[in-house]
Structure 1
Amino acid sequence: MAARKLRPYFQAYTIKVLTDQPLRQVLHRPDTSGKLVKWAVELSEFDIQYLPRQAIKAQVLADFVVECTIHQQSIESEVAQTPIAENATTTGERTEAETKPGRTEDISVPAEQNPSSKEPLWEVYVAGSSNKVGYGAGLILTGLDNFVLDYALRFGFRASNNEAEYEALIAGINLVVQTSAQRLKAYCDSQLVANQIQEVYEARDECMIKYLSKVRQLASKFKNFEVIRIPRTKNAKADVLSKLAASGYTTLMSICMEFLKKSSIEN
């Protein structure tokens, strides 16, 4: 499809295909037949080089840590350079301008300010998938400087849709915890998960109680944590990632994928 849609580029340039699959051997086997023969003939007119694709997970995580660390240092430097005179005066202290009679202008600074409002806000979209093929979860993490991370999880254990949703949420929270962020807003399309965390629904199932306890334990590490339920149409990308993770097709995509041997609530 790429060769057909981008034919002018394929004809004008040498195309380097990065893949972890033996495409060259498959297309040039002597016993190739059917559609593979058609594709091999069609692609033979182009100058295509097949190169091994290196592992990208470590590089993505390294970039993730570097971007967050730089931003955190810049925040600390800004705080350190803030003049002391700009800080709020302590209770009972008044400047000369405040005590002059007849002055109506209020130049006092509130004694209490909300520092969390200046903290960077991280957002994560999560979705879980449970079907006959397998079990998985997907999440989209957005943060500082338009940073976006696509993350997929494939489970080595059986999980219901709600359990998969909780696993996705826990994985997203754990990623943000590593950045030392203080504000997190999570979006999910599961009515049960969102309402249980918001205490609209009561968790009665033993497994749901454990998952809810795990989420609250992780949420306590933030100054501001919120879970919002959104329609599935607004969570399409995370939903697709979860289905791909459940089917195992994410090995063909340039996204981070993790394999969980056991659930997050197991000891």
Structure 2
Amino acid sequence: MELSEFDIQYIPRPAIKAQVLADFVAECTIPQQITGSEIVQTPAVERIITTEERTEDGTETGIIPIPAEQDPPAIETLWEVYVDGSSNNGGCGASLVLTGPDNFTLDYALRFGFRASNNEAEYEALLAGMNLAVQTTAQRLKAYCNCQLVASQIQGIYEARDQRMIKYLSKVRELSSKSKSFEVIRIPRTENTKADVLSKLAASGYTTLGNICMEFLQKSSIENKAAEVMQVEHESCWMDEIIDYLRSGKLPEAKKEARKVAQRAARFYLDGENLYKMSYTLPYLKCLRPSNAAYAPQEMHEDSGSPAS
């Protein structure tokens, strides 16, 4: 009654069930292309579609391949990462904000189980951002940080004399060689507010930061750690048919099985050699082969005594 003088109207919110169903159909429907009298399931890769040529009297003259439209060559998108590190009496931490094409943004925080200076924390954040960029197959990366020492050492303006700084700089150059373009730019702290706040929260001892990805580092990136090597032979599993379909459009010969694979593949995404299952509300889930799936829990719980476990 008191707000009626401001011409405010209250309208009950309608049910959203119909919108949920519409979003589900839009996301899971496989694109279809009609060729002749047959509907052909079309994946997001180039395929060759065949149709029958018929003469005026109705006789078939053979199968003519119709090339699918080729997508234009992909333009290498520039990825950007904002990094920052923090070291105080409460602990040490770092953070990064990775941005990519299609408004992709990833907030990532690091909590250290070791003492590190502000410069070392800045390097750790930069290395984490570069590793994530490599995993996303980014070929061009531009990094922004507000640490003058780190930016100047990478640009070659300052000389790295401390042994730990030399190791960090060598690690950065090693990772930068995996991309076609890499650049580090120093920016004022006021232009790096988000990463600055996240790094301070990670250093303050928080084990969770809402929906932000958080990782606990028990050892620094430059410490030599003997990696456990696991010899895994290629093993056939349910992933092979989906990968073949997403990569080259190859389907099983049986029509029933082919339709089943095509429908199931609509819920998956192939990035290089990695297969991911798309989720409606969660990040993409990486699919593992049986042997890797058995090893993953062991690797995840190897530091079970850490505060992040």
State the Cα RMSD in Å: 2.5
Aligned with 2:214: secondary structure?
strand
Aligned counterpart for 1:81 among listed residues 70, 83, 87: 70
1:10-53 CA-partner distances (Å, limit 9, x unpaired): xx99xxxxxxxxxxxxxxxxxxxxxxxxxxxxxxxxxxxxxxxx
Q: Does 1:246 align with 2:203?
A: yes
Q: What 5-or-longer segments of structure 1 have no aligned partner?
A: 1-11, 14-72, 84-114
Partner of 1:124: 81
| Structure-2 separation of matches of 1:242 and 1:126 | 9
Question: 1:83-129, CA deviations, whole angstroms, 9 ceiling, x for partnerless residues?
Answer: 9xxxxxxxxxxxxxxxxxxxxxxxxxxxxxxx99x301110000000
In the TM superposition, residue 252 of structure 1 has moved relative to its aligned partner by 4.3
Corresponding position: 1:134 with 2:91: yes
Is 1:203 matched up with 2:160? yes
- Partners of 2:46 and 2:206 in 1: CA distance: 42
Q: Which has the higher strand share?
A: 2
CA distance in 2, matches of 1:180, 1:246: 29
| 2-structure distance, mates of 1:162, 1:75 | 45
Q: Which runs of 5+ in 2 are unaligned?
A: 1-11, 14-42, 48-68, 225-309
Give the TM-score taking structure 1 as reference length: 0.57
What secondary structure, in the 3-state scheme, does the structure 1 residue paired with 2:219 have?
coil
Which amino acid in 1 is paired with 2:133? V
Name the TM-score, length of structure 2 as normaliser: 0.50
Cα pair distance change 1:183/1:157, threshold 3 Å: same
Cα distance in structure 2, aligned partners of 1:160 and 1:124: 21
**1:226 aligned to 180, 183, 201, which one?**
183
Larger relative contact order (CA 8 Å, sep ≥ 6): 1
1:161 aligns with 2:113: no
Pairing of 1:1-267 with structure 2 (within 5 A): 81=70, 118-249=75-206, 251-267=208-224
Distance in 1 separating the partners of 2:46 and 2:95: 33
* Matched positions, count: 163
What is the one-letter code of the residue matched to 2:107? D
Larger proportion of helix: 1
Cα shift readout 1:156-209 (whole Å, capped 9, x = no counterpart)? 000000000000000000001001110000000000000000000000000000
